[in-house]
Structure 1
Amino acid sequence: MSAAELPDERTAIVTGAASERGIGRAVAHRLAREGWAVAVIDLDADAAERVASEIHDVHGIAARGYGLDVTDRAGSVGVVDRVTVDLPQLVGIVNNAGISSPTAFLEVSEDEWRRIIDVNLNGAFHLTQAAAKIMAANRVGRIVNVSSASAQRGGGVYGRAAYSASKAALLGLARTLARELGPHGITANSVSPGSIDTDIMGGRLGEDRKAVLLKELPVGRIGTVDDVAGVVAFLLGPDGGYLTGVTYDVNGGSHIA
């Protein structure tokens, strides 16, 4: 097997993957459907285990659930070590875990700022560094960061300064990893979802708001978690091997409207 090829039996870590209507859960199911074993990571350990069991039952693929606060560096390293024992070769990681912040810049407290950065950015750093060491040793790996259109537009429907800054940092991190880890057979890319109907919206996407958003979307509909999952699966899969350092805007054309 050359550095560009993926092993037949391979595992992907997906963080923040237990929310019922979240992007992470959809990604985990899509990867399992395409033959990946999946490590479902979430702050809610019971929910992570339930989703892993569901994936196994639906797709007949190996899946394990792990409870983790991604801000815990030692815990993150420990979970990656467990994944390498419990599941096939670790090849992919999807940094999806994140929290939003609707607070305007002039009002955001230092505690809130640090909390958002710690979960959204530092959490990705902890897990990715641990996983990348294993990928580099095996000469093959795929990293995908889940950013946000807010990072490129300067805020959006659900996030303002802290959220947008953390998500923009994920774009820069992926590009840096693409450059540094490429010689080790590892690609690193990002997806930047726009208006996606997920739990993170917290009920804020009412009919009035939907009507406004639809005027900005050339495709004429709000995005779904499956729209994002398909792109993530492509970037992790065999056909994504020559893509690195890129950002896929999954936004229904909102940037050109």
Structure 2
Amino acid sequence: MSDPFSVRDRVVIVTGASSGLGAQFARALHRSGAQVVAIARRKDRLDELAAECPGLEGRALDVTDDEGCAALVADVLAAHGRVDGLVNNAGMGHPTPAISESLEEFRRVLDVNLTSVFHLARLVAPSMIERRHGSIVNIASIYGLGSTYPIGDASYTSSKAAVVNLTRDLAGQWGKHGVRVNAIAPGFFRSEMAEELFTNDKVHQRITLATPMRRTGEPGELDGALLFLLSDASSFVTGQTIAVDGGWTTH
């Protein structure tokens, strides 16, 4: 293998690609030569991303639209003949004390953060199984490995913890078919959803003091883990969750 980390010419679907980590993942894959199909709800943001990354395909889609997701995967297979990788990044959260969070809100978060991950993984799996090759990367969170104390966000932590175990179970089911399923658990990286953690000085200081590396993540510091998991460099790695968090989960 001349470059085991190469993803050149691989067809990779990235969800939640209109901003934050998803947009960063799409850029990193595009720079590395992958054929990226970027999915998000905001078409204007996808158009901006496509202008920045010539050749990138953008498609406006809500990941909770079951029929839309099925049509998307069918279109990608028709256009490219395969799906080599799926990055399940779309997610949401709204820190709320459990006593105040409605059942409707809780279910909505699980639908976006968990059910869509299962649905899209199941949609791409048959073609990967047929080719005996494919890599699915689910974006979990360090909050899927512990609580949000003292903030409080039961729906988010529940959904991300479930993503960790869904990753293990799908890896167990599909490993014999050559399909790998892994997860990345990011620590604190700046994004629209996490903006308050960075603009509130007291919160930001508390985070950095609790992180062994004494800082939050910089743009691009998740790229290495992503490219590793989508490439042949991780050909014998499946069912794992890699925390990229500056050491947050060491305590």
TM-score (norm 1): 0.89
Give a deviation string over 1:211-256, Cα, whole Å, max 9, x none.
2111111112111241122211111112011110111011100122
Deviation at 1:88, TM superposition (A): 6.2
Q: Which residue of 2 aligns with 1:238?
A: 232
* Distance in 2 separating the partners of 1:158 and 1:90: 38
Deviation at 1:159, TM superposition (A): 6.1
* Distance in 2 separating the partners of 1:156 and 1:92: 34
Matched to 2:42, the amino acid is D
Give a deviation string over 1:162-204, Cα, whole Å, max 9, x none.
0100111111111111111111111000111111122211334
Give a deviation string over 1:128-151, Cα, whole Å, max 9, x none.
111111211211100111011111
Q: 1:165 aligns with which of 139, 158, 177?
A: 158
Q: Which residue of 1 aligns with 2:177?
A: 184
Structure 2 residue 168 is matched with structure 1 residue 151: no
Structure 2 residue 220 is matched with structure 1 residue 226: yes
Q: Which residue of 2 aligns with 1:123?
A: 116
Q: Figure out how many residues of one structure are paired with residues of the other and give that number.
A: 247
* Distance in 2 separating the partners of 1:93 and 1:195: 23
Q: Which residue of 2 aligns with 1:59?
A: none
Matched to 2:131, the amino acid is N
Deviation at 1:12, TM superposition (A): 0.6
1:99 aligns to what SS in structure 2?
coil
Q: Which residue of 2 aligns with 1:49?
A: 47
Give a deviation string over 1:43-98, Cα, whole Å, max 9, x none.
11232233133222xxxxx3200111111111101011112233463100010000
Indicate if the aligned counterparts of 2:5 and 2:228 stay in contact, CA closer than 8 A: no
Q: Which runs of 5+ in 1 are unaligned?
A: 57-61
Q: Which moved more, 1:114-123 or 1:81-90?
A: 81-90
Indicate if the aligned counterparts of 1:15 and 1:24 stay in contact, CA closer than 8 A: yes
Structure 2 residue 12 is matched with structure 1 residue 12: yes
Q: Which runs of 5+ in 2 are unaligned?
A: none
1:199 aligns to what SS in structure 2?
coil
Q: CA RMSD in A?
A: 2.1
* Distance in 2 separating the partners of 1:116 and 1:222: 25
Distance 1:41 1:217, change over 3 A: same
